[in-house]
Chain A
């Protein structure tokens, strides 16, 4: 069976050429190859599953008869299934893959106990799977991004602690004593998620607070999953990959610490503005608005770092798939933050509250910004893990354009559609059926965008499995296949 041989050769490459060449990097990659593969595989597969759920949900909005007789796929279940598989299936697996890779490479030594790490990863994905089954079986909780039934919480928590500990051990074992900004972001993401997940599980699921406070905790959690876990891991990935793919320093690196602390501070308060006008004290949501405006500071700093570094080496962007994903992610980040910051104003909320607008911004954040960045990261990691080329640059290009097109269509459908939706439900007294009719074209656009996302996620899976299963060609048997970029992280610009 040549496939099996190929898998073996992928997992344990025996390479020719100068053994000294990249010896250190190859040893590092070898130490984390197995856990990383299981993260990347799970993330790609979950993305396909998530986009299928998203597609079904979005079709149901314009054609409610679609799968109507199927109780496990009713809209109220596929919608949370979509978000939860997207967040815990795709983003966590992909983000943690990038995080572990970056920590190991930057530290120069892997301290992670491989078996323990792999078991934690399997446990995490089992947890997500149980959650999916639970929602289908009707055990869902009514909290956004926490719909998984209550027994899933501890499973995910333990698994996350396992993965987080392995990351900490790697950081602890590092040979370079100084640290690079990507490491700070990753550590912050790991600490933060463990904390916000515990707080949310305890105060929502185990010992639920009183009704209105639950809504508050939920909003705080949702915003922090993005602001304190997903975004930091994505920042870490961009800031690590910019020097690697472009071969030059991050411009304005010395402002990193300001961006880091101000982002953590403001984004931890920013989320609750969406509860304006609701049954919670007014000052809480006002605080959220102020904090959102505070985010202007780190957003500007980070965007200048990302975009000016990328634009200075614009020619590389056409030749490097990873750099292209990073550029798209960075541009989307800027657009996204514009919507997030100005969308938090009471004036904007008076129009957009309860509309599709929020989902549009969330998708821009998860699939547009973080999704693009992590996909770029995975395309950087895979060839190094296997010492093989990406199997087909056509598929990578296709994935890029489909994903970009998907982001555009979905955000037009949900964000512009959401503004229209908001105007109709908040500023007119049009009845609900008239509203639904007026939104039809937006629903169709979203479906089309979701369909493109689905195709792009299939490209991701194809890339993963072909690189794993393909025959190792001549050039790929040599250690010289990959040129490591110079280590710029610890030198002053």
Chain B
């Protein structure tokens, strides 16, 4: 053990071994996936982000929403399905378009994989971003009021001005307008939904039972 090269070689072998098993092997198994074309489910799966939502994803990354929100649904553990956060397991193919993956490691807030389905109203998201206390009283999500402009009303009020409850409204003669960043972020939220099935994605027994019941009903 007296020699540097011996330690170097030993450590190198172990690290290469670890890297090949833990990273390279899974990368061969699930790291080269392609999108699927499925006309019954509306074309390319997973669905691609469009325009404003793509920009919104960058804002999500820039502001570090990932510190509190995950984007992954688990079937084998947790209560994700009961909470209505999704109806199937998230699998590797769901993430192939994310050049910067936003899987997340912390859930101080809810999972957002399907938030677009749960909360389809842009106005709700804008209000929530402006100040979560407006529609989620007691939340500790930060207010992103810096994504909004408060400006003096010149002439007639803008059609894009936010309708804020009294307690949160700007002084008389002022209005609050969402910036492009706020609008893109809200568009991104609406785009977050996993509304397609993949063959490899397991569902929970409850979901399958529900689907079976619906299918039977339709058949009758």
Q: A191-B12, A278-B103, A353-B77 in contact; A433/B33 too (CB < 8 A)?
A: no
Residues of chain B from 127 to 159 with CB closer than 8 A to chain A in the complex = 132, 136-146
| Most B Cβ at <10 Å: residue of A269, A277, A288 | A277
Q: A187-B4, A187-B7 in contact; A71/B146 too (CB < 8 A)?
A: yes
Q: Does B95 contact A (CB under 8 A)?
A: yes
Q: A140-B62, A277-B78, A429-B79 in contact; A187/B95 too (CB < 8 A)?
A: no
Instruction: Determine the residue in chain B with the shortest Cβ distance to A443.
Output: B140
A187 touches B8 (CB 8 A): yes
Contact with B along A194-210 (1 / 0, CB 8 A): 01100100010000111
Rounded to whole angstroms, the CA-CA distance of A188 and B137 in the bound complex is: 51
A69 touches B64 (CB 8 A): no
Q: Please, which residues of chain B bring their CB within 8 A of the CB of A68?
A: 142-143, 145
Contact of A140 among B7, B27, B64, B141 (CB under 8 A): B64
B105 touches A75 (CB 8 A): no
B26 touches A177 (CB 8 A): no
B92 touches A279 (CB 8 A): yes
Q: Does B160 contact A (CB under 8 A)?
A: no
B2 touches A177 (CB 8 A): yes
Residues of chain A from 261 to 293 with CB closer than 8 A to chain B in the complex = 261, 264-265, 268-269, 272, 274, 276-281, 284, 287-288
A64 touches B18 (CB 8 A): no
The minimal Cβ–Cβ distance linking B126 to chain A, given in whole angstroms, is: 17
Q: Please, which residues of chain A bring their CB within 8 A of the CB of B94?
A: 211, 279
Q: Please, which residues of chain A bring their CB within 8 A of the CB of B4?
A: 168, 171-172, 187
Can you list 14 A-B pairs with a CB-CB distance of less than 8 A?
Answer: A65-B143, A74-B142, A80-B67, A179-B2, A191-B7, A211-B96, A212-B101, A215-B103, A261-B10, A277-B74, A277-B77, A350-B78, A432-B109, A432-B110
Q: Does A14 contact B (CB under 8 A)?
A: no
B74 touches A216 (CB 8 A): no
A433 touches B7 (CB 8 A): no
B108 touches A436 (CB 8 A): yes
Q: Does A139 contact B (CB under 8 A)?
A: yes
Q: A191-B8, A268-B14 in contact; A216/B26 too (CB < 8 A)?
A: yes
A213 touches B23 (CB 8 A): yes
Q: Does A425 contact B (CB under 8 A)?
A: yes
A425 touches B101 (CB 8 A): no
Instruction: Determine the residue in chain B with the shortest Cβ distance to A350.
Output: B77
B103 touches A269 (CB 8 A): no
Q: A196-B15, A278-B72 in contact; A210/B31 too (CB < 8 A)?
A: yes
The minimal Cβ–Cβ distance linking A479 to chain B, given in whole angstroms, is: 32
Rounded to whole angstroms, the CA-CA distance of A432 and B138 in the bound complex is: 10
Task: State the A residues within 8 Å of B (CB).
Answer: 60-62, 64-65, 68-71, 74-77, 79-80, 138-142, 144, 147, 168, 171-172, 177-179, 184, 187-188, 191-192, 195-196, 199, 203, 208-217, 220, 228, 257, 261, 264-265, 268-269, 272, 274, 276-281, 284, 287-288, 346, 349-350, 353-356, 358-359, 425-429, 432-433, 436-437
Contact of B22 among A69, A220, A427, A437 (CB under 8 A): A220
Q: Does B87 contact A (CB under 8 A)?
A: no
Residues of chain B from 9 to 49 with CB closer than 8 A to chain A in the complex = 10-12, 14-15, 17-19, 21-23, 26-27, 29-33
Instruction: Determine the residue in chain A with the shortest Cβ distance to B92.
Output: A212
Contact of A264 among B11, B90, B100, B144 (CB under 8 A): B11
B136 touches A268 (CB 8 A): no
Instruction: Determine the residue in chain A with the shortest Cβ distance to B106.
Output: A354
Rounded to whole angstroms, the CA-CA distance of A12 and B63 in the bound complex is: 48
B67 touches A75 (CB 8 A): yes
Interface residues on B, range: 35 or more
Q: Please, which residues of chain A bring their CB within 8 A of the CB of B79?
A: 425-429
Contact with A along B54-76 (1 / 0, CB 8 A): 00000001111111101010111
Given contacts A76-B66, A211-B101, A279-B95, 4 further A-B contacts (CB under 8 A): A64-B141, A64-B142, A213-B31, A274-B105
The minimal Cβ–Cβ distance linking A286 to chain B, given in whole angstroms, is: 12
Rounded to whole angstroms, the CA-CA distance of A168 and B4 in the bound complex is: 9
Q: Please, which residues of chain B bring their CB within 8 A of the CB of A168?
A: 4
Q: Please, which residues of chain A bring their CB within 8 A of the CB of B65?
A: 76
A141 touches B23 (CB 8 A): no
Contact of B138 among A281, A429, A433 (CB under 8 A): A433
B82 touches A429 (CB 8 A): yes
Contact of A425 among B7, B76, B78, B90 (CB under 8 A): B78
Rounded to whole angstroms, the CA-CA distance of A188 and B6 in the bound complex is: 11
Rounded to whole angstroms, the CA-CA distance of A210 and B26 in the bound complex is: 11
The minimal Cβ–Cβ distance linking A75 to chain B, given in whole angstroms, is: 5
A195 touches B12 (CB 8 A): yes
Rounded to whole angstroms, the CA-CA distance of A68 and B168 in the bound complex is: 15
Q: Please, which residues of chain B bring their CB within 8 A of the CB of A141?
A: 61, 100
A287 touches B22 (CB 8 A): yes
Q: Does B177 contact A (CB under 8 A)?
A: no
| Most A Cβ at <10 Å: residue of B8, B14, B18, B74 | B18
The minimal Cβ–Cβ distance linking A419 to chain B, given in whole angstroms, is: 14
| Most A Cβ at <10 Å: residue of B2, B26, B89 | B26
A437 touches B138 (CB 8 A): yes
The minimal Cβ–Cβ distance linking B132 to chain A, given in whole angstroms, is: 8
Q: Please, which residues of chain A bring their CB within 8 A of the CB of B68?
A: 75-76
Q: Please, which residues of chain B bring their CB within 8 A of the CB of A142?
A: 61, 64, 66, 100-102
Rounded to whole angstroms, the CA-CA distance of A426 and B29 in the bound complex is: 29
Q: Please, which residues of chain B bring their CB within 8 A of the CB of A179?
A: 1-3
Q: Does B121 contact A (CB under 8 A)?
A: no
| Most A Cβ at <10 Å: residue of B19, B91, B140 | B140
Instruction: Determine the residue in chain A with the shortest Cβ distance to B1.
Output: A257
Q: Please, which residues of chain B bring their CB within 8 A of the CB of A279?
A: 30, 72, 89-92, 94-95, 103
